[in-house]
Amino acid sequence: MKRLLLLAIALVAFNSSAAEQPRKLVIIAGKPSHPPGMHEFRAGSLLLEKCLKQGYPKLKVEVHTNGWVSDEKTFADADAIFIYADGGAKHPAVVDGHLETLRALMKRGVSLGCGHYGVEVVPDQGGAEFKEWIGGHYENQFSCNPIWDADYKTFPKHAITRGVKPYTTKDEWYFNMRFRDDLSGITPILVAKPSDTTRDGPYVYPKGPYPHIQAAKGRAETMMWAVERADGGRGFGYTGGHFHANWGNDQQRKIILNALVWLAKAEVPKNGVESKVTEVDLAANLDPKPAPKPAVKK
């Protein structure tokens, strides 16, 4: 009996110690792309890290730049991964054997989130995996990418939406994702109704319009979503994040900070993750990019 009691005490102590271990989030920022102020993956990731240190310091955050981690050993104790990068055929998740690395991590219950272009993969290169891991993905010419003012008026009851107030931002809000069949297991987080003009285009690329996007005029669309996976991991997709300046919007920033905390399976505060940023913060760590060439007058 005494031996069983000692064993029980040891197990409680072990579990308490494990519970005290900080959750770890690995943020992967993509390589430089696009003109200044757009796709500022490095600056955006470092800003989110700074905000998490302000509002949720008990979460351990590592930011890795230039498209992947410097050493995959860092994944050994990771609880969650967030990829904020260019996607498509050169998505960091699908090149250089990374899909196999992620597959092993997902099987272990590690969570995965993707931001902006990072939600796009080529269907036969990672589409099935993204449906499983984050619930869906952007598919070229099935989904579309206009720049428009999305007006988020209401939110579902979810840890990610805690403390978030209605807001509107102009961004390259993708929609018409290639989701799991019947939206199985998917919770829409950011939902808004594109105007008919938005559906008529132009889209960023290809310009469109696409008849199937126009045919759905009046339908609300999901620009951010979340999933709880059967393997114990979590996932989310967030289609905004094109314009770096939008991280200055308190609500847009809060919903992502909440999502990152939730992704790591930590408890999101009742009023969400609070943070403040200044113009100096927004101007920090921007990639050196050439200024756009002035238009030639004809």
- In sequence order, what are the residues at sequence separation of 6 or more whose Cβ sits closer than 8 angstroms to the Cβ of residue 96? 68
Segment 211-264, tens digit of pLDDT: 999 999 999 999 999 999 999 999 999 999 999 999 999 999 999 999 999 999
- Considering the domain boundaries, does residue 5 fall inside one? no
Residue 191 pairs in a beta bridge with: 222
Segment 112-160, tens digit of pLDDT: 999 999 999 999 999 999 999 999 999 999 999 999 999 999 999 999 9
Question: When comparing pLDDT for 164 and 289, which is higher?
Answer: 164
Q: What is the pTM of this model?
A: 0.91
- Considering the domain boundaries, does residue 65 fall inside one? yes
pLDDT number for residue 291: 75
- Considering the domain boundaries, does residue 109 fall inside one? yes
- Considering the domain boundaries, does residue 289 fall inside one? no
Mean pLDDT of the chain: 93
- Residue-number span of the structural domain to which 44 is assigned: 21-283
Segment 53-64, tens digit of pLDDT: 999 999 999 999
- Dihedral sign for Cα 33, 34, 36, 40, please: negative
Categorize the per-residue pLDDT at 20 as very low, low, confident or very high, splitting at 50, 70 and 90.
low
Measured at the CA of 272, the angle between CA 223 and CA 63, to 5 degrees, comes to 70
Categorize the per-residue pLDDT at 3 as very low, low, confident or very high, splitting at 50, 70 and 90.
very low
CA–CA dist 195, 218 (Å, integer) = 7
- Considering the domain boundaries, does residue 16 fall inside one? no
Residue 78: CB atoms within 10 Å:
19
Domain count, the chain: 1
CATH classification of the domain holding 140: 3.40.50.880
- Model confidence at 18: pLDDT above 60: no
- Considering the domain boundaries, does residue 61 fall inside one? yes
